[in-house]
């Protein structure tokens, strides 16, 4: 590998948003053929830094140099995404940026081809994408509308789109947050192969296992500052955790518990849901008080219908669903909420928060009928503010303040906001759908701690997650979902569950 040619150099980059210092004099170099992992707690400034590289934000100070096609380091024109693209920098964003009403193929072409050329170039483009898919092991249905894809599939399209543009420097902001462990491994193996052809990669991740397995070098940000940089060969989980939070993290103590009465029963439930493609077939599932049941599976195998049923967003076509022994006839989110169902949605930006509303408002959004929040149609600003201040403190939600738009919070901090809202309602049944996706170590531990706390209190928890380590760590029982069917895992080893996820019969 040609490790010594520098391809990118960020020099003294600083960026502030009001009172928040998102980046503070950050220096980072990147070499040809290298995979650099950028780590740090939620809100540490990782996405902001990469957005400046990509021209979405202009730094308050500092400069960026990129190796030109002629072989010289040249200053990048800042604040111009097109200049970054022209310089060969591609970015896959933490949050999806695809056009939902266009097909996968059209989305991949968007931005790199002239619209009039689409028709002529389609078959060429299709060949080129198919080649990339074969080489990387990333697959996506090219003619499907993006709006119909699962989150996992959308993420693959985002990556394919960047690869299609033949970038020299690829930035991936939490690319595997929505992939299965196997898909993630495949992705990285193929990225590693592409670095042999000279691609340089910066990836942001909270998953230390993949960082240790697939990066060459690790840089860590804390409160906007670069606090460390080491070759991966000299790193281990402990070292990185200490760099990130300045102290070691605590593991969750976990006791065996006696289960109580059922809080959720699905008896032979079949459901098509609505727009999702995998329906649920004659599903049986029981969750008791004091129990966490984990559902492992590759995204797109029926998880979303299962989650929608329990959220009141879909109905069974046959079979029955009981909550606390009560047979549910009328399905709506409000009904489910009034029955004590708390929900941590999979897509926090779409279903979790209203980004145009303030942090304080989002924290009371499910309590709009409570007197202390809404008195005869008048919002009680004082108590809304007090509520927000308490919860921000209790759940360690960091950001530009309670009156700021929720859109301005980092991914992890939005998740903390949702958790605060759910856990404060003391639900009997918690639907935790990818609850730690994109969270840093500390925040993920905090979610685990709170789920275990709810279990101790007597809640039943349905944990849907693509992170097998998380399922193994937290679940009392494990079910595997494949092609719309749920099967209980008797052998709970990583390997056995991985095979069931791939559709092999136990």
Ligand X SMILES: Nc1ncnc2c1ncn2[C@@H]1O[C@H](COP(=O)(O)OP(=O)(O)OP(=O)(O)O)[C@@H](O)[C@H]1O
Interface residues with Mg ion (CB under 5 A) are: 47, 94, 411
**Three-class DSSP category at 154:** helix
When binding is defined by CB under 6 A, the residue of 39, 48, 450, 466 that contacts ligand X is 48
Q: Give residues with Cβ within 8 angstroms of 447, minimum separation 6.
A: 415, 419, 432, 435, 436, 439
Element spanning 494, H or E: helix 494-501
Q: Which stretch binds ligand X (CB under 6 A): 175-183, 227-235, 308-316, 409-417?
A: 409-417
Does 410 contact ligand X by CB under 6 A?
yes
Does 411 contact ligand X by CB under 6 A?
yes
Taking the complex as a whole, how short is the minimal distance between the CB of residue 1 and Mg ion, in angstroms?
28
As a whole number of angstroms, the distance between CA 375 and CA 356 comes to 23
439: left (phi over 0), alpha (psi -120 to 50) or beta: beta
Does 178 contact ligand X by CB under 6 A?
no
Taking the complex as a whole, how short is the minimal distance between the CB of residue 247 and ligand X, in angstroms?
18
Binding partner selected for residue 40 from Mg ion, ligand X, none, CB under the kind-specific 5 to 8 Å limit: ligand X
Element spanning 244, H or E: helix 237-245
Q: Which of residues 66-105 bind ligand X (CB under 6 A)?
A: 94
In this structure, what are the phi and psi dihedrals at residue 317, rounded to the nearest 5 degrees? -85, -30
Taking the complex as a whole, how short is the minimal distance between the CB of residue 91 and Mg ion, in angstroms?
12
398 vs 455, beta carbon nearer ligand X: 398
Pairing of strands 61-67, 73-75: antiparallel
Taking the complex as a whole, how short is the minimal distance between the CB of residue 44 and Mg ion, in angstroms?
8
220 vs 295, beta carbon nearer ligand X: 220
**Paired strand residues for 342:** 430
* Site map (CB under 6 A) of ligand X, residues 7-26, x = contact: ----------x--x-x----
**Measured on CA atoms in the order 200, 206, 211, 213, is the torsion positive or negative?**
negative
Does 412 contact ligand X by CB under 6 A?
yes
Give the total of residues touching ligand X (CB under 6 A).
22
Does 43 contact ligand X by CB under 6 A?
yes
Taking the complex as a whole, how short is the minimal distance between the CB of residue 422 and ligand X, in angstroms?
18
Single out the residue of 313, 309, 244, 247 nearest to residue 281, CA to CA.
Answer: 309
Are the beta carbons of 76 and 64 closer than 8 angstroms? Answer: yes
**How is the beta sheet containing 200-204 ordered, strand by strand?**
89-92, 169-173, 200-204, 35-40, 217-222, 225-231
374 vs 405, beta carbon nearer ligand X: 405
Does 40 contact ligand X by CB under 6 A?
yes
**Paired strand residues for 91:** 171
As a whole number of angstroms, the distance between CA 350 and CA 347 comes to 6
57 vs 214, beta carbon nearer ligand X: 57
When binding is defined by CB under 6 A, the residue of 222, 398, 416, 450 that contacts ligand X is 398
20 vs 471, beta carbon nearer ligand X: 20
**Three-class DSSP category at 320:** strand
As a whole number of angstroms, the distance between CA 385 and CA 79 comes to 36
Q: Which stretch binds ligand X (CB under 6 A): 229-237, 248-256, 397-405, 418-426?
A: 397-405
H helices of 115-180, in order, are 118-136, 151-164
As a whole number of angstroms, the distance between CA 277 and CA 300 comes to 8
Does 406 contact ligand X by CB under 6 A?
no
Does 409 contact ligand X by CB under 6 A?
yes
As a whole number of angstroms, the distance between CA 449 and CA 444 comes to 9
Taking the complex as a whole, how short is the minimal distance between the CB of residue 48 and ligand X, in angstroms?
3
20 vs 336, beta carbon nearer ligand X: 20
Q: Which of residues 363-382 bind ligand X (CB under 6 A)?
A: none
As a whole number of angstroms, the distance between CA 373 and CA 384 comes to 6
Does 45 contact ligand X by CB under 6 A?
yes
Single out the residue of 426, 421, 446 nearest to residue 359, CA to CA.
Answer: 421
Binding partner selected for residue 48 from Mg ion, ligand X, none, CB under the kind-specific 5 to 8 Å limit: ligand X
94 vs 150, beta carbon nearer Mg ion: 94
58 vs 365, beta carbon nearer ligand X: 58
Taking the complex as a whole, how short is the minimal distance between the CB of residue 392 and ligand X, in angstroms?
12
- In the complex, residue closest to Mg ion by CB: 47
For binding to ligand X (CB under 6 A), which residues are involved?
17, 20, 22, 40, 42-48, 94, 398-400, 408-413, 440
């Amino acid at each position: 590998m040609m490790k010594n040619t520098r391809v990118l150099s960020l020099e003294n980059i600083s960026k502030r948003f009001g009172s928040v210092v998102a980046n503070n004099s950050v220096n980072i170099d990147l070499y040809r053929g290298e995979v650099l992992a950028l780590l740090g707690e939620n809100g540490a400034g990782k996405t902001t830094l990469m957005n400046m590289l990509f021209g979405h934000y202009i730094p308050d100070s500092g400069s960026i140099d990129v190796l030109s096609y002629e072989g010289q380091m040249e200053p990048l024109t800042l604040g111009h995404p097109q200049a970054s693209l022209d310089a060969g920098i591609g970015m896959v964003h933490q949050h999806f940026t695809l056009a939902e009403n266009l097909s996968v193929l059209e989305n991949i072409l968007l931005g790199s081809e002239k619209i009039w050329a689409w028709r002529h170039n389609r078959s060429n483009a299709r060949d080129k994408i198919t080649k990339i898919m074969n080489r990387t092991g990333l697959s996506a249905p090219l003619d499907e509308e993006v709006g119909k894809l699962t989150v996992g599939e959308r993420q693959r399209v985002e990556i394919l789109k960047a690869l299609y543009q033949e970038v020299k420097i690829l930035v991936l902001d939490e690319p595997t947050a929505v992939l299965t462990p196997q898909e993630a491994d495949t992705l990285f193996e193929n990225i590693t192969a592409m670095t042999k052809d000279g691609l340089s990669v910066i990836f942001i991740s909270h998953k230390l296992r993949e960082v240790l397995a697939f990066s060459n070098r690790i840089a860590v940000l804390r409160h906007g500052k670069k606090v460390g940089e080491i070759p991966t060969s000299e790193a281990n989980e402990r070292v990185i955790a200490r760099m990130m939070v300045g102290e070691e993290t605590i593991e969750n103590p976990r006791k065996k518990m006696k289960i109580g009465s059922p809080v959720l029963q699905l008896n032979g439930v079949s459901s098509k849901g609505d727009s999702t493609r995998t329906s649920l077939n004659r599903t049986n599932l029981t969750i008791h008080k004091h129990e966490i049941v984990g559902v492992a599976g590759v995204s797109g195998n029926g998880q979303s219908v299962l989650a929608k049923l329990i959220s009141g967003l879909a109905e069974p076509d046959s079979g029955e669903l009981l909550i606390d022994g009560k047979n549910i006839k009328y399905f709506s989110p409000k009904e489910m909420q009034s029955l004590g169902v708390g929900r941590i949605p999979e897509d926090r930006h779409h279903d979790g928060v209203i980004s145009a509303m303030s942090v304080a408002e989002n924290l009371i959004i499910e309590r709009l009928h409570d007197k202390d929040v809404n008195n005869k149609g008048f919002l009680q600003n004082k108590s809304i503010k007090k509520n927000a201040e308490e919860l921000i403190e209790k759940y360690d939600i960091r950001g530009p303040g309670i009156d700021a738009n929720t859109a301005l919070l980092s991914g992890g901090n939005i998740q903390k906001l949702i958790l605060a809202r759910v856990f404060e309602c003391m639900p009997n049944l918690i639907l935790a759908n990818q609850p730690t996706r994109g969270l840093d170590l500390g925040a993920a531990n905090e979610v685990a701690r709170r789920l275990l706390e709810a279990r101790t209190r007597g809640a039943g928890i349905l944990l849907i997650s693509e992170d097998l380590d998380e399922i193994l760590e937290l679940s009392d029982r494990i079910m595997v979902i494949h092609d719309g069917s749920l099967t209980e895992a008797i052998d709970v080893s990583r390997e056995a569950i991985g095979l069931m996820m791939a559709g092999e019969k136990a």
